[in-house]
Structure 1
Amino acid sequence: MYRYSVTEPHPRRCILPFTAEPLQLAGLRRAVRAELAAWGMQTLVEEAQLITTELASNVIKHVGQGSVATLVLDASTDQLRVELHDKSDKEPHRLNPTCDEESGRGLQLLAALTPSWGTIRTVAGKAVWCELPLAPDETRRRIQRATTVMETYGLAVGSPTTRLTHRPVLEESATSLILDLLHWLAAQGLDPDDILDRAQIHFESGREVA
């Protein structure tokens, strides 16, 4: 499965072309999870995966197995937009919510999970879209800022793999960034231990509030 991901400039965008086959669904879900985790949007993973499964299943059942389609993820500061593009101009079918797991629970999921969704005609066919709002809380903003910092840091040190979600890579990159910050604080005549203690206090306080 080819994957095109753009993080700079914002908004972030990920384009996932795929063939509408049942075996492709698990790979699409994994790709959605990986991309949203890299963007600091883990809270939207489950909803986005459900929507992806339903939209892709609808293409398989009603456009045709083996047809070419594209999943697009667009993230702005306040919402995630999910689009499924195919080459048919047929309106999406509203499936029965009692259908099997791989077919999803029907497009009724879209109305349940997002306040805004619809269909638009494209030059090649159509796109079914929906938007998932991001709650404007401080933790989310901090995670998004940290995600941007980690990506920029990876480019600065010649290691763009910091965007990957592999735990060892993230741990090593985060440790390296913190180490650089400690050296920078010391060079400014500040006490690194004091800054770390203050940051830990604020972090623990924020977790208690949440």
Structure 2
Amino acid sequence: MPRYEEGAHRLRRVLPFEATPKEVPLLRLEVKRNLEQWGALSVLDEAGLVATELATNVIKHVGEGTPATLVLEPRGGRLRVEVHDGSSAVPTLSAVCGEAECGRGLHLLASLSEEWGTVVTAAGKVVWCEISLTAVGQCARVQRAAAVLDEYCKLIGSDSMVAPERALLETLVPEVIADLLHWLAAQGGDPDEALGLALARYESAAAEAA
């Protein structure tokens, strides 16, 4: 059963669940309800999406029906989201990149989070991330970008891609942008103009989210 843990400096929600497809939307609904109670409206979409992806990863990589637990905890200006399961296998972006499924969930997790990681425990592991509570949702853009990175990984599928997760993303994104600019130039477009427009749109969206 869901439960709260409250203290002088702490509010924490613990949500045990069974890792099955039918449980995932219910878990996302619980996340939404809880954040509404806390007044964390700006991260409803992000937190719901992160919870969905983490629960789905348990189903895919640990096993359907696995007992797991979702934990939500505000920490300063961030919301920490954790999923605990009984497997000690640690997920990585580089380990799955190039396979049939390129870790789209992990790309989303890295894109939506300020930080994320995995901790191996005596009972299994915890996959966690922290989302800024001051950021306004950019879910649609993030999901589209993650899908692009997913397909790009499948195309380049290199065994040499063993960089740490954030470094891997920082390497991939410029490569994707450079390839798009090459494509645009081949079609007779202006790469400089496209870059300027893209930066202007990014800065405008970032200013609205500030």
Distance in 2 (alpha carbons) for counterparts of 1:89 and 1:6: 26
Measure, in 1, the Cα distance between the counterparts of 2:104 and 2:22: 18
Report the residue type matching 1:37 in the other structure.
E
8 Å Cα contact 1:114/1:131 also seen in 2: yes
Counterpart residue number, 1:49: 48
Identity %: 47
Contact 2:42 2:134 in 1 (8 A): no
RMSD of aligned C-alpha atoms? 2.5
2:90 aligns to what?
91
Q: Which one has a bigger Cα radius of gyration?
A: 1
TM-superposition CA deviations, 1:42-85 (whole Å, max 9, x none) = 11110001101111000001100001100000112311000000
Aligned equivalent of 2:114:
115
> How far off is 1:12 after superposition?
1.1
Amino acid corresponding to residue 75 of structure 1 in structure 2? P
Question: Looking at both structures, which has the greater relative contact order when contacts are Cα pairs under 8 Å and sequence separation is at least 6?
Answer: 2
For residue 107 of structure 1, give the secondary structure of its aligned residue in structure 2.
helix
Any gaps of 5 or more consecutive residues in structure 2? Answer: 136-209
Misfit runs of 4+, over 6 Å:
none
Could you tell me which runs of 5 or more consecutive residues in structure 1 were left unpaired when the two chains were aligned. Answer: 137-209
- The letter for the 2-side match of 1:38 is Q
For residues 4-83 of structure 1, what are the structure 2 equivalents within 5 Å?
4-83=3-82
Task: Work out the CA distance in 2 between the residues paired with 1:43 and 1:58.
Answer: 25
State how far apart, in whole Å, the 1-side matches of 2:66 and 2:83 are: 13
Q: Verify the 8 A CA contact 1:78 1:133 in the aligned structure 2.
A: yes
Aligned residues: 132
